């Protein structure tokens, strides 16, 4: 093959399209093959209106073709490392401006729109399976809070049925010794994640459950999970819960003040 410098414009266009677009080679690989510089090939690609892969696409392509190893695959992180990473991610999100957040939402929507129908159905199937599993064994946040309560000496009941007037409605977490019921509400409880009809049913069930719990003289604490789960955020939520439980333990609230809410986005 001739040196890159010896090619005419049309030959360069055809060659870059073949190697970069079709064969998914990087500019560095192309440059080595054509005895030139990667920046030169990149500048020409831009000049010839060839779409440049973004960093994410380039990384996925490198992993797919075995050019790079996945940086975390096969590695086990300690809880301290996970907490440090989680705190870093959480802080980076908190620093985003409303405009940056909106741009991320647009990017996510565009990524979804660019999926094939088969890919969308596969993702939706996995999501539905996860929801069904969560309803039986509890969400990550529920299990985290349950484990932390146990560590702190509380005897709890987890997803127990038949407590609320022989209904099949479950209380996520009960602390019988304190007469406290804890409900963890994911986004499907307050947003049309699975459509408006599903949201209406969830709201109706929650209202019914709230009435039954308060009617038994219990304190109800609802934890509103606005954000995706992370250990760092779960820890912040649990700290809020712990403070509230201390307050309830010191003075059991009056009948008109037994309905509390904790949010994970504060």
What CA–CA distance (Å, rounded) separates 79 from 76? Answer: 10
Angle between helices 140-151 and 231-250 (to 10 degrees): 50
What the block records as the tokens of 147 is: 């484990």
Nearest one of 256, 216, 219, 257 to 241, comparing CA atoms: 219
pLDDT at 172 over 50: yes
pLDDT at 30: 87
Model confidence over 1-52: pLDDT tens digits? 567 888 889 988 898 888 888 888 888 888 888 888 888 888 998 988 888 8
Candidate from 30-44, 155-169, 185-199, 246-260 with smallest mean pLDDT: 155-169
Q: Report the largest interatomic distance among the alpha carbons of the chain, rounded to a whole angstrom.
A: 87
138-263 is classed in which CATH architecture? 3-Layer(aba) Sandwich (3.40)
Query: What pTM was computed for the model?
Result: 0.54
Q: Where does the pLDDT of residue 123 fall: very low under 50, low under 70, confident under 90, or very high at 90 and above? A: confident
């Amino acid at each position: 093959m001739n040196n890159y410098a010896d090619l005419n414009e049309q030959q360069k266009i055809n060659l870059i399209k073949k190697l970069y677009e079709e064969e998914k080679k990087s500019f560095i690989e192309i440059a080595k093959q054509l005895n030139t510089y990667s920046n030169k090939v990149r500048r020409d690609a831009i000049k010839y209106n060839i779409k440049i892969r973004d960093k994410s696409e380039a990384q996925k392509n490198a992993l797919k073709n075995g050019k790079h190893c996945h940086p975390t695959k096969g590695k086990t992180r300690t809880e301290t490392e996970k907490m440090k990473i989680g705190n870093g991610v959480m802080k980076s999100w908190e620093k985003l401006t409303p405009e940056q957040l909106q741009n991320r939402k647009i990017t996510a929507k565009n990524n979804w729109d660019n999926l094939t129908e088969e890919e969308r159905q596969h993702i939706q199937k996995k999501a539905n399976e996860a929801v069904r599993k969560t309803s039986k064994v509890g969400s990550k946040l529920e299990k985290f809070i349950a484990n932390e309560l146990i560590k702190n000496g509380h005897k709890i009941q987890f997803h127990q049925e038949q407590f609320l007037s022989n209904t099949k409605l479950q209380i996520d977490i009960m602390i019988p010794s304190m007469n406290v019921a804890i409900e963890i509400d994911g986004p499907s409880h307050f947003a049309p994640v699975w459509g408006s009809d599903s949201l209406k049913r969830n709201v109706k069930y929650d209202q019914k459950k709230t009435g039954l719990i308060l009617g038994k003289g219990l304190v109800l604490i609802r934890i509103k999970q606005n954000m995706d789960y992370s250990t760092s955020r779960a820890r912040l939520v649990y700290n809020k819960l712990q403070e509230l439980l201390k307050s309830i333990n010191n003075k059991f609230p009056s009948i008109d003040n037994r309905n509390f809410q904790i949010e994970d986005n504060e």
